[in-house]
Amino acid sequence: MSLFSVFRLAAAAFFAGGLALLHGCAGLNAISDPERPGMFGEEVDSIVVQPFELGQDLKTPLNDAQRKLFRELLVEQIETQPDLRIFEQAPTELPNTLIMEGRLTEFEVEELPSREFFYRAIHIGLELALRSGDQGDVFRRMKRRLSYQKIYLPEVTVPVVEFDLRDAVTEIITQLTDSMFPVGIEGDIPLANGSDPVTGTAFGHPLLLRGNNMAADGRYSKARKLWRLVLFDPSQPVEEELFRISPRSLFLLKADDVSAAMLKRLEPVATDEPMDLVDFRGAVREVVGGFNRLEPKLLKLGNHHKDTLHLNLAAAHRNLAVLYWIESRLDLAVYHLARAYANYPQSGYVSKWAKIQEERNLIPEGLDGEEAIALYMRLPSPRGARLEPGVVENTLFPPVVFETRGEAPPAGAPSGASGGGAPLRPVELPPPPPEVGAQPSGLPPVQSPEQAGTPSTSGG
């Protein structure tokens, strides 16, 4: 069983236990031990894992050692399964033999320096064809993509790519092997239904709730489509204009540098039910001691309709994260968890996000979960993501301005983007000594942005 598979078993209880407190776990609003069929039956006793072929349009070249790494890690994970013999070339007798033909369809190392940190992303696309040894027909093709995104803070030496490559390849190989050798999940995983985390009142969009039912019934593809529709338009009919101070309101006030004393005075109001404009103004003035210059802002942030919109956006993002996590597509799982947090900040989202990122070795040393998730919210989107960050996310977490060819930051860049010294760049570390009898391996020199051209900072 792979490291990531073991992690998924342990994290299932974490997801179920923590998020049950946030969203409830009853009836059809939960995924119960999803079963995924394996790629082949018990009659297979020999597997031929052929060397991975290279596609024609790889943006970053690979040497022989890097190419062999893909097969090496695939073999390592298959070897954890009992009663399977592994070959590089097909044996003389082919019955009960499965042949795996791998192909690297996408490979790019993207390195973008800024004055705040150094960003490295390893983008990988894999295709794996499975065919029976005796018939020779391909009966299944599996395609996977991964964006392994890592941040190095100024006080950390930025190593060569080889330092991160093994982790990235391990993760995408895990996606493939978890599909071939599915691992069950212990316990129910609750699905967010748009419930207010304080009052428990449900404001779930009809499409969100239908998607929950589909996911609970194992129809993940349909659930994904419905939740994405919610992300495009979470609006619902408004019968009456209501107001309240919510946890989201308090978070936005804190992000706007409202004093801790004022936030403390407003906390009791956050437990109130939505109320009309007159009652809301009276409640606020009673807490803050009369009219306060913050009152117009509180009226804007207290709009209950907008609050329910973001509850539904957060719920849809969070449920998409659960499905991607089940499928071991961790780059997309943390992407959607972070956006759930941006739309309706809750500590549960941060803790789940941080636990996954720690397992992936992607939490910058010295940062807590909230600091790290705020930093990652500013990065380009993973290439497998179909949705770009919305207005709320970009307002709270303005994208980082990366240094390209020594040019000045573009107009409208975040404040301070051009200050603070030279941008961080990777440091060439000496290669490890080769093993006895092994052919020395290494990576081609890391290209600077001037050598590689101006990279794109947008997601896929």
pLDDT at 458: 30
Terminal-to-terminal C-alpha distance of the chain: 31
Residue 160 has pLDDT above 50, yes or no: yes
Q: How does residue 93 score in pLDDT terms, banded at 50, 70 and 90?
A: low
Per-chain mean pLDDT for the chain: 81
Q: Note the pLDDT of residue 117.
A: 93
Question: Which pLDDT does position 240 carry in this prediction?
Answer: 85
Q: Which residues pair with 128 in a beta bridge?
A: 102, 142
| β-pair partners for 201 | none
φ/ψ (deg, to 5) at 455: -80, 160
Mean pLDDT of 427-434: 53
Contact of 257 with 275, CB cutoff 8 Å:
no
Determine which of 16-30, 274-288, 388-402 has the lowest per-residue pLDDT on average: 16-30
pLDDT(407) > 60: no
Residue 131 pLDDT more than 60?
yes
In the predicted model, is pLDDT for residue 219 greater than 70? yes
Alpha-helical regions (H) of 79-161: none
To the nearest whole percent, how much of the chain has pLDDT over 70?
79
Token digits of residue 213: 């039912």
Could you give the C-alpha distances from 383 to 42, 150, 177, 357, in angstroms and in order?
Answer: 36, 14, 21, 18
Distance CA 216, CA 236 (A): 24
Q: Distance (Å, rounded) from C-alpha 436 to C-alpha 446?
A: 27
Position 5 pLDDT exceeds 60: no
Buried b (16+ CB within 10 A) or exposed e, 399-428: bbbbbbeeeebeeeeeeebeeeeebbebee
Which carries the bigger pLDDT value, residue 87 or residue 407?
Answer: 87
The pLDDT tens digits for 257-307 are 888 888 888 888 887 888 899 999 998 888 888 888 888 889 888 999 999
Phi, psi of 376 (to 5 degrees): -70, -25
Q: Which residues, at least 6 apart from 284, have a Cβ–Cβ distance to it below 8 Å?
A: 245, 266, 269, 292, 295, 298, 302
DSSP assignment of 222-262 equals HHHHHHHHHHH------SS--B---HHHHHHHHHTT--HHH
- Among 105-114, 195-204, 323-332, the minimum mean pLDDT is found in 195-204
For residues 356-373, give the mean pLDDT. 93
Quote the pLDDT of residue 425.
61
Cα dihedral value 402, 403, 407, 413, nearest 10:
30
Say what the pLDDT of residue 416 is: 34
Phi, psi of 105 (to 5 degrees): -95, -20
What's residue 350's pLDDT?
95
Cβ contacts of 360 within 8 Å, gap of 6 or more: 148, 167, 171, 330, 334
**Nearest CA to 311 among 202, 199, 186, 168?**
202
Nearest 5°: the CA angle 144, 147, 149 is 155
pLDDT attached to residue 184 = 73
Q: Give the DSSP per-residue string, 383-403.
A: TT-SS---HHHHHHSPPP---
- The two three-digit tokens of residue 83, written as one number: 């009663």
Q: Does the pLDDT at position 2 exceed 90?
A: no
User: Cβ distance 258 to 337 under 8 Å?
Assistant: no
pLDDT for position 433: 52
Residue recorded with tokens 């397992």: 359
Question: Residue 430: pLDDT above 60?
Answer: no
In the chain, the largest separation of any two C-alpha atoms, in whole Å, equals 88
Please count the other Cβ atoms lying within 10 Å of the Cβ belonging to residue 450. 10
Tell me what the mean pLDDT of segment 57-78 comes to.
Answer: 93
Q: What is the mean pLDDT of residues 334-358?
A: 94
From CA 271, how far away is CA 181, in angstroms rounded?
47
Q: Are strands 97-113 and 118-132 parallel, antiparallel or unpaired?
A: antiparallel
Lowest mean pLDDT among 134-148, 216-230, 259-273, 410-424: 410-424
Q: What mean pLDDT comes out for the span 137-160?
A: 92
- What is this structure's pTM? 0.81
256 Cβ partners below 8 Å, 6+ apart? 297
Contact call for residues 312 and 205 (beta carbons, < 8 A): yes
Given this model, what pLDDT does residue 126 score?
A: 96
Q: Between these two residues, 274 and 92, which has the higher pLDDT value?
A: 274
Q: Count of alpha carbons within 13 Å of 7, Cβ hemisphere only?
A: 19
pLDDT of 344 strictly over 90: yes
Closest-CA residue to 337 (of 356, 354, 318)? 318
| Number of neighbouring beta carbons within 10 Å of residue 105 | 18
> At 328, which helix (H) or strand (E)?
none
- Domains along the sequence of the chain with CATH: 11-36+189-235+307-374 (1.25.40), 46-180 (3.30.160.180), 247-301 (no CATH)
Model confidence at 387, pLDDT cuts 50, 70, 90, reads: confident
Give percent of the chain with pLDDT exceeding 90. 45
CA distance 384 to 125: 10
Q: If DSSP codes are grouped into helix, strand and coil, which group holds residue 158?
A: coil
